[in-house]
Structure 1
Amino acid sequence: MRHRKHNHQLGVKSAHRISLIANLSCALIENGRIKTTLAKARALRPAIEKLITLAKKAHLAEDVAQKLHYRRLAIARIRDKKAVKKLFDELVEQFANRNGGYTRIYKLAIPRLGDAADMALIEFVEES
């Protein structure tokens, strides 16, 4: 039984799901906001928050080996060095004073045309 086993399965196999979350994470880091289904946005949120927390830990670490370790953990998760570079160099400074809640999900009013899936816009919260 799967009682109290909460994770977003998204109706696909685990390898497909891991790749999907990695690709969505890269797209969100590179573009700042993406339009996707509500279920995928809700599955993406914890993954991207953990990546930003890794980047913040690397930003605060004083040991060079520790910084490299956190960067390699992020590369293992999303497998795109350009996105990791942007995350660790640019986005980490944007969220330096924020303790979580780095993303925002907006539900869009119009469902997807082909299958009427609920659509959502996920974006980074801007610090003002």
Structure 2
Amino acid sequence: MVHRVSAKKLSRDSKQRNALLKSLAKEVVLHEKIITTLPRAKTVRPFLEKLVTRAKENTLVSRRYLVAKLGEERPVRKLLEIVGPVFKERLGGYTRITKLPPRVGDNAPMALLEFVENVSELAAKRKIEEKPSKKTKLEKKSGKKPTKPKRKEKTKNLEPAAKEKEGGKPVSEKSKAKK
């Protein structure tokens, strides 16, 4: 009798399994849907749900947690800036698994793993609504940045480092030490 087994092994050791979960989760975040086998989709779903739940609170701790779990900055940025705010009011169930016909080569059961809401469209609508208004002339004048004074160029005298020989050619100190 097997107790407290939370996930399938997927015929891999723990490092390979974690790498697979990380890879599938990154692909779902970046592309918003993936087609994979049904057991893989069922295994990655809770992992992904936990990441989205953590992304809803945009804090430094959650950012570091997501980077530790995903290993890259690009999917973490998308989770925190786009996916998290879209699912802010939802308490769970951010993804859905839709069964597809079996794969032709080996008859493996296939599935589509995707977010419940269309994240990219909702994020685009949110960006359009939050567009800042144009600045008035007074705001533009008062918002000028002070210009920095130009730096004076310092010229170093390179003559002591290279002294002239009888023939008029500069000689380095290394060549003097050899003589």
CA–CA distance in 1 between the matches of 2:60 and 2:6?
31
Show the counterpart of 2:31: 31
Query: CA shift at 1:9, angstroms?
Result: 1.0
Identity across aligned pairs (percent)?
42
CA–CA distance in 2 between the matches of 1:52 and 1:100?
9
Query: CA shift at 1:79, angstroms?
Result: 0.7
Output the amino acid matched with 1:102.
Y
Output the amino acid matched with 1:115.
D
Query: CA shift at 1:39, angstroms?
Result: 0.3
Query: CA shift at 1:118, angstroms?
Result: 0.2
Following superposition of structure 1 onto structure 2, how do residues 14-25 of structure 1 map, counting pairs within 5 Å?
A: 14-25=14-25
CA–CA distance in 2 between the matches of 1:6 and 1:92?
25
2:106 matches 1:112: no
CA–CA distance in 2 between the matches of 1:114 and 1:16?
23
Query: CA shift at 1:3, angstroms?
Result: 2.5
Tell me the SS of whatever aligns to 2:113.
Answer: strand
2:90 matches 1:80: no
Query: CA shift at 1:17, angstroms?
Result: 0.4
Output the amino acid matched with 1:22.
K
Query: CA shift at 1:70, angstroms?
Result: 1.0
CA–CA distance in 2 between the matches of 1:125 and 1:2?
33
2:91 matches 1:99: yes
Higher relative contact order (CA 8 A, sep 6+): 1
* Superposed CA offset, 1:21-79 (max 9, x none): 000000000001000000000001000000011111x23xxxxxxx1111111111111
CA–CA distance in 2 between the matches of 1:18 and 1:6?
14
TM-score, length of structure 2 as denominator length: 0.63
TM-score, length of structure 1 as denominator length: 0.87
Show the counterpart of 2:127: none
* Superposed CA offset, 1:67-98 (max 9, x none): 11111111111111100000000111110110
What 5-or-longer segments of structure 1 have no aligned partner? 60-66
CA–CA distance in 1 between the matches of 2:23 and 2:4?
27
Tell me the SS of whatever aligns to 2:108.
Answer: coil
Query: CA shift at 1:7, angstroms?
Result: 1.5
What 5-or-longer segments of structure 2 have no aligned partner? 123-179
Q: C-alpha root-mean-square deviation of aligned residues, in Å?
A: 1.4
Show the counterpart of 1:64: none
- Structure whose residues are more often helix by fraction: 1
